[in-house]
Amino acid sequence: MSTATSPGATPPATVAPAARRESPLSRLLAVRELPVVVALVALVAVTTAVNPLFLSGQGVKDLLLNATIVMMLAVGQAMIIITRNVDLSIGSMLGLCAFGTGTMFAGDSGVPIAVVFVAMVALGGLLGAVNGMLVTVARVPALVITLGTLYVFRGINNLWAGGTQYFADDRPRAFGALSVDTVLGIPIITLVAVAVVAAVAVVMSRLRAGRDLYAIGSDPDAAAVFGIPVLRRVMAAFIANGMLVGLAGVLYASRFNSVGATTGTELELTVVAAVVVGGVAIFGGSGTVVGAAVGAFLLTTITSSLTALRIDKFWQQAVVGALIIAAIAIERIASLRAARKLREQSEREVLDV
């Protein structure tokens, strides 16, 4: 069972803490996200050594831009997975919001960019609420529900869009420029994504609403008994995820050329993989959104990296698959170790007292 990594209550100060020599180093090594960060750094280092162009100005820009959208999706998905659910419909939701963006701008409509952002985030939130409602009020398992909404939303997207596709020049130049212009070498949409990741991370670790999600994922019954409004929190998580997907949809429309009926297909498994690689346990209750964001970054970087290394691109998917499995295994070992430590600690406390 995955447990939170924080140790139990510290024993009274009078007991000599001889056994407790947790140096900063060992605490660092226990950080959940360490493996994925190390992997990312190693990957970038090796690739740059072989092909210095990898970290050129354009190269860095491309890396960041590629990762931006998956990062946002991973953050939202992490929140959901932490509560022991999953949302498979994000690809279809993204498609709807991206096409919505295209529609709002179409024909030189003159709609202000800010309005489009707000509208699509709201649309995403609405779609997320549909999922959330079906999962909480109707109490149906999220995997099944979101598999169903994956189909339904995609169908609606097809109905709405038909053969219509909106291209880059159907949108205002300033909007497209968001993916091109940089501040301090970082593209604007990436800055937006990073800000969002930071905000969500703060909510998850400091705010009651966020921490409750961990409790719900660890043990829903206990959380309920403890007085946590489980259904309300889970609903909020789904809505928040939907809003993030909506935002990602707008950013997608800024970055890529066409938006249409097939936008966003088959994204869901990539995002879940990114979240898992980033150290979030699939059973919920542990992991951080920052880890998920790094996981997303790692997965998108692998593809670019293998290309830059001129490794047969046919190996890319296999490598990604192997990596996911490795990440799961590492996470499993880490949680087993944490559980063992907790057990040993409580045994020690029993003996001490």
Partner 1 sequence: MSETIAAETAERPSSRLRALLLNRGAAMVYVLIVAVLLASISIDRFASPLTVGFLLLDVIPVLLIAMPMTLIIVSGEIDLSVASIVGLSSATLGVLWADGWSMPAAMAACVVVGVVAGAVNGFLIAIVGLPSLAVTIGTLALFRGLALVVIGDDAVADFPREYTRFAISKIGATGIPVVMLGVVAVVVLFGVVLHLTSFGRGLYALGHSREAARFVGIDVDRAKFWLYVAAGVVSAVVGIYWTLRYSSARSDNATGLELTVIAGVLLGGVSIFGGRGTVPGVVAAVLLIGTLNYGLRLDRVSDVVLIIVTGTLLIASVLGPRVGEAIGRVRHERRVRAALPAAGPPPQAPAEGAAPAISLESLHPSSDPAPGAANERKQR
Partner 2 sequence: MKLVQVKRRGRLPVAVALVSTATLLLTACGGSDSDGGGDGGGGGGGDDLAITFIPKQLNNPYTDVVLGGGEDGASEAGFASNEVVGPLDASASSQVSFINAETQAGTNVIVIAANDPDAVCQSLEEARSNGASIVAFDSDTNPDCRDVFISQVVAKDVGLVQLEILSEQIGGSGQIAILSATANATNQNEWIRFMEEELESNPDYADIELVTTVYGDDDDTKSFQEAQGLLQAYPDLKGIISPTTVGIAATARYLSTSEYKGQVALTGLGLPNEMREFVKDGTVSEFALWDPAQLGYVAAFAGKALADGDITGAEGDTFEAGELGEKEVGENGVVIVGPPTRFNADNIDEYDF
List residues near partner 1 by CB under 8 A: 1, 83-86, 134-136, 138-145, 147-156, 158-159, 216, 219-221, 223-225, 228-232, 234, 266, 269, 272-273, 276, 281-284, 312, 314-325, 328-329, 332
Nearer to partner 2, 63 or 234 (CB): 63
Nearest to 330 by CA among 297, 291, 289: 291
Nearer to partner 2, 5 or 158 (CB): 158
For residue 13 the two structure tokens come to 């100060």
Contact 79, 241 (CB under 8 A): yes
165 counts as binding partner 2 under rule CB under 8 A: yes
19 to each of 16, 77, 117, 339, how far by Cα in Å? 8, 39, 54, 18
108 counts as binding partner 2 under rule CB under 8 A: no
Q: Which does 230 bind (CB under 5 to 8 A by kind): partner 2, partner 1, none?
A: partner 1
Q: Residue 348: CB partners within 8 Å, gap ≥ 6?
A: 19
Angle, CA of 9, 282 and 247, to the nearest 5°: 105
Per-residue binder mask for partner 2 (CB under 8 A), 44-83, x = binder: -------x-xx--xxx-xx---x-----------------
For residue 51 the two structure tokens come to 């092909």
What's the closest the beta carbon of residue 99 comes to partner 2, in angstroms? 11
118 to each of 101, 215, 259, 271, how far by Cα in Å? 10, 31, 19, 24
183 backbone dihedrals φ, ψ, rounded to 5°: -120, 115
Nearest to 73 by CA among 103, 100, 95, 46: 95
What's the closest the beta carbon of residue 50 comes to partner 2, in angstroms? 11
State which of residues 48, 182, 258, 345 lies at the interface with partner 2 (CB under 8 A).
258
Contact 237, 80 (CB under 8 A): yes
Stretch that binds partner 2, among 115-123, 165-173, 241-249, 289-297 (CB under 8 A): 165-173
139 counts as binding partner 2 under rule CB under 8 A: no
- Residues 308-337 binding partner 2 (CB under 8 A) are 308, 310, 313
Nearer to partner 1, 34 or 231 (CB): 231
26 counts as binding partner 2 under rule CB under 8 A: no
Number of residues that bind partner 2 (CB under 8 A): 33
182 counts as binding partner 2 under rule CB under 8 A: no
12 to each of 5, 23, 87, how far by Cα in Å? 21, 20, 44
Nearer to partner 2, 169 or 221 (CB): 169
Classify 11 as helix, strand or coil: coil
What's the closest the beta carbon of residue 141 comes to partner 1, in angstroms? 5
CA distance 292 to 241: 13
Rg (CA), the chain: 22
Residues that bind partner 2 (CB under 8 A): 51, 53-54, 57-59, 61-62, 66, 158, 161-163, 165, 167-169, 176, 179-180, 256-258, 260-262, 265, 303-304, 307-308, 310, 313
